[in-house]
Chain A
Amino acid sequence: MTKTKMDSPPFESGTSLWQDAFHRLKRNRMAMISAIYLLLQSLVAIFAPYLANFSYETTDLLLGAVPPNGIHYFGTDDLGRDMFTRVLYGARVSLMVGILATLVSVCIGVTYGAISGYVGGRLDEVLMRGVEILYAMPFTFFVIILMVLLGRNIYLLFIGLGAVQWLTMARIVRGQVVSIKNMEYIAAARAMGVKNHMILWRHVLPNILSPVIIYTTLTIPGVILEEAFLSFLGLGVQEPMSSWGTLIADGVTALETYPWIIIFPCITLMGALVALNFLGDGLREALDPKGTP
């Protein structure tokens, strides 16, 4: 009958599980540093036109490649383009690809997995066998073919990369939905006459959100890397636009003579990837405290 508020953990009245998770996340220093780093990185990317002193497409052949100095913070490449500017603009493309392609993959993966898991039965069999078949296909080639056939369009890149990444998400979501749908509160909701799509939306999805969020933060670096890889092959973003991947590809050719061309894009790429992974880990610990030892 009585509320035992004293010996319960610091739950305010009406603390949702999300608020608890946020408290735990705030206590994780590495995750918070990573989050702040990523926020700054995103702001820098968004406001790149205001922060850069030079245009990313202006070449200065007379200048050529100069090492980092007071005017060109990151030096210039062999065409005399300011590397600081190019890295700033590269962040825009890389982060945008990372986020948008991941969003595409989350949308497809969650919808597919949720329907498969919730409907179950034969449809589930068919959908999941489909995922397995797609798993067996060499997807990098698929994206390469897509790029070659349909032209090097940056939006196509989002869709192409997203369409490759959703398979694991679909599997994760499907597994979660199957376990959630046998919970008693789903039976209770059905006994209350709640419509199927509302059960899925209101009762099932919130309960599978934490694995989805965790996997999403871990997908973004994967997608950024994939884009870097495609750009490295010359299939990603085209000159004079740059992404971290194209910058690294440029730098490789001049690795011995002008090392600063490759070093700075590498450092920023690594910084973003490391921060995303730390944040993903922190989120996993915050949202699923039981799963961590």
Chain B
Amino acid sequence: MTIPLLEVQDIRTYFYHQSGVSKAVDGISFSLQKGKTLGIVGESGSGKSVSMLSLLGLLPSSSARILSGQAWFQGVDLLQLPKEKLRQIRGKKIGMIFQDPMTSLNPYLQISTQLMEAITEHHLGMSRTEAHAKALWALEQVGIPEAAARIHEYPHQFSGGMRQRVMIAMALMTDPDLLIADEPTTALDVTIQAQILAILRRLQEKNGLSIILITHDLGVVAGMSDDVLVMYAGRPIEQGTVEEIFYQPHHPYTTGLLRSIPSAIGEKKSLYAIPGLPPDPAKLPPGCPFAPRCEHAMPICTQKAPPRRELSPSHFSLCHLEVNHGKG
């Protein structure tokens, strides 16, 4: 195997409040090869976004602390880099797109200014004309019609889907090696979602981009990812290739997630929902955090942290259940 583009080991990010400590990210590890996609799945508040913000040094400095971990990206540990060095990587080598395209663009600036900002900020040695040409190229890459005319427009003249395309174009301006997409399609219509995902896939094939796709939509993961990391209460509870997660899920939470995907075919039955709510990260129970909601819960689950079960070299799960118990 070649050296992965990004190798993350055991990141722990805690938030310190007056009322206590929230273990927002509690020991996640993964590695991402060039040109591959990692899907990170979990409910709201499971630590998906916080783990990515930890990598980029974008956590609110007042309350968040990264307690441990390493994140090797192109020979440097992102978590050990001084602020200024990390800023130089951010936006240049690693692009990020956000969930809500309606609020992610500055309403007072032309699209062109916002597109060219990354280039001017990172001093890539391009003239204004070259940067402008690059911006046009980026808009065409994401399929914006009449890019030459629309580049001088303002965000309010674009629809939601178009704005998300602009966001992707912004991330493309510096030819990043890694794109972190934080729920890129959550705020969009299903038809637009499909278009945006198609754009991401095409860019990946063309430019060898690696993508970390954060989502709570398993359908998106199935279509896009090579590997999947399922997070619950800040912990990675199951990780494997997309086939392993979808066809041989082990953890009851993963099974539950898969069962709660609505199906358009077959007879109509009421939709499955995992009972209960995710735990408050400030008050995690001892043992398995999922135990109170788990239909297979055993007495040991509430007392002892679950062991790591290797199901294959690429597949593991954190659960007390014996292997070959959890069938989807």
Q: Report which A residues bind B (CB closer than 8 A).
A: 1, 8, 11, 13-18, 120-121, 183-185, 187-195, 198, 202-203, 206-207
Contact = CB atoms under 8 A, between A and B. Distances in A.
B118 A193 contact: yes
Nearest to B100: A184
Interface stretch (B91-99, B293-301, B313-321): B91-99
Interface of B: 56, 58, 62, 87-92, 95-96, 98-100, 103-110, 113, 117-118, 121-122, 145, 149, 152-154, 156-157, 167, 170-171
Nearest to B146: A3
A228 to B, nearest CB: 37
A14 B108 contact: no
A17 B171 CA distance: 25
A13 B149 contact: yes
A266 B311 CA distance: 90
A16 B117 CA distance: 18
A189 B88 CA distance: 13
Nearest to B99: A184
B116 to A, nearest CB: 11
Contacts of A195: 87, 121
A191 B106 contact: no
B157 A184 contact: no
Contacts of B92: 193
A192 B121 contact: yes
A198 B107 contact: no
Given A183-B103, A187-B98, A192-B90, A207 B118 contact: no
Given A188-B170, A192-B117, A193-B87, 16 more contacts: A13-B153, A14-B152, A15-B154, A17-B107, A17-B156, A121-B62, A188-B105, A189-B117, A191-B56, A191-B95, A193-B88, A194-B91, A194-B118, A198-B121, A202-B113, A207-B107
28 contacts: A8-B157, A13-B153, A13-B157, A14-B110, A14-B153, A15-B154, A15-B157, A120-B62, A184-B99, A185-B106, A187-B98, A188-B105, A189-B106, A190-B90, A191-B90, A192-B90, A192-B91, A192-B96, A192-B121, A192-B170, A193-B87, A193-B90, A193-B118, A193-B121, A194-B121, A195-B87, A203-B109, A206-B109
A245 to B, nearest CB: 39
A193 B118 CA distance: 7
Nearest to A4: B159
Contact of A190 (B58, B95, B99, B154): B58
Contacts of A203: 106, 109
Nearest to B173: A192
